[in-house]
């Protein structure tokens, strides 16, 4: 089922097209290299078709674009998935990442630490803001963790695991 969602604020304009019964066609342009990678990995992990366009006020930093992208994608997911539980564990390099989701009640817990302050044009402190915004706007509890490995491996593993967990929750919901 195709879901379209738009969020427009003083700082950003985010457009999301999400097809949960897709084949993994991804077209992401947020202006933030790492965020594009995270969204691409999530979409491919879930086998969703996902198109995102984000314009943000980068003069003030990347926070608004990252958070608003999470909100907008979360709302698109919430339009399709109302219940269901899913989890996934993914190795990536030397890292082991896991994500678990339960639709119906928003919540977030992140159990990971990143060494760098920024990577791929993104302030890494904003990764938790993105994940929290995604979970609360998506109407699901998200627990995500990563151990060992470098920042890139942890982030890649967590984003793939998250996509796979959401796909499993969709299947669990009977859709």
pLDDT of residue 23: 84
What percent of the chain is predicted at pLDDT more than 70? 97
pLDDT of residue 129: 95
Computed over every residue of the chain, the mean pLDDT equals: 92
pLDDT of residue 14: 93
Q: What is the mean pLDDT of residues 52-81?
A: 89
pLDDT of residue 1: 65
pLDDT of residue 71: 95
**Whether pLDDT at 3 is above 80:** no
More confident residue, 173 or 18: 18
Q: What is the mean pLDDT of residues 88-115?
A: 96
d(CA 117, CA 27): 27
Return the CATH architecture of domain 2-172.
2-Layer Sandwich (3.30)
Band of residue 5 on the pLDDT scale cut at 50, 70, 90: confident
pLDDT of residue 100: 98
pLDDT of residue 175: 62
Q: For residue 144, which of 68, 67, 87 has the smallest C-alpha distance? A: 87
Q: What is the mean pLDDT of residues 2-25?
A: 86
pLDDT of residue 163: 96
First vs last C-alpha separation in the chain: 10
pTM of the model: 0.93
What are 135-154's pLDDT values in tens digits? 999 999 999 999 999 999 99
């Amino acid at each position: 089922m195709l879901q379209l969602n738009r969020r427009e604020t003083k700082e950003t304009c985010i457009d999301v097209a999400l097809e949960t019964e897709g084949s993994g066609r991804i077209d992401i342009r947020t202006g933030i290299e790492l965020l594009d990678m995270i969204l691409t990995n999530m979409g491919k992990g879930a086998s969703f078709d996902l198109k995102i366009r984000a314009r943000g006020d980068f003069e003030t930093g990347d926070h608004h674009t990252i958070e608003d992208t999470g909100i907008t994608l979360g709302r698109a997911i919430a339009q399709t998935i109302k219940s269901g539980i899913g989890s996934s564990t993914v190795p990536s390099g030397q890292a082991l990442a896991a994500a678990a989701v339960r639709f119906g009640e928003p919540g977030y817990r992140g159990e990971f630490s990143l060494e760098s302050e920024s990577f791929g044009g993104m302030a890494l402190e904003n990764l938790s803001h993105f994940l929290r915004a995604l979970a609360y706007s998506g109407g699901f509890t998200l627990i995500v963790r990563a151990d060992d490995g470098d920042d890139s491996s942890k982030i890649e593993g967590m984003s793939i695991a998250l996509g796979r967990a959401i796909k499993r929750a969709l299947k669990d919901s009977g859709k």
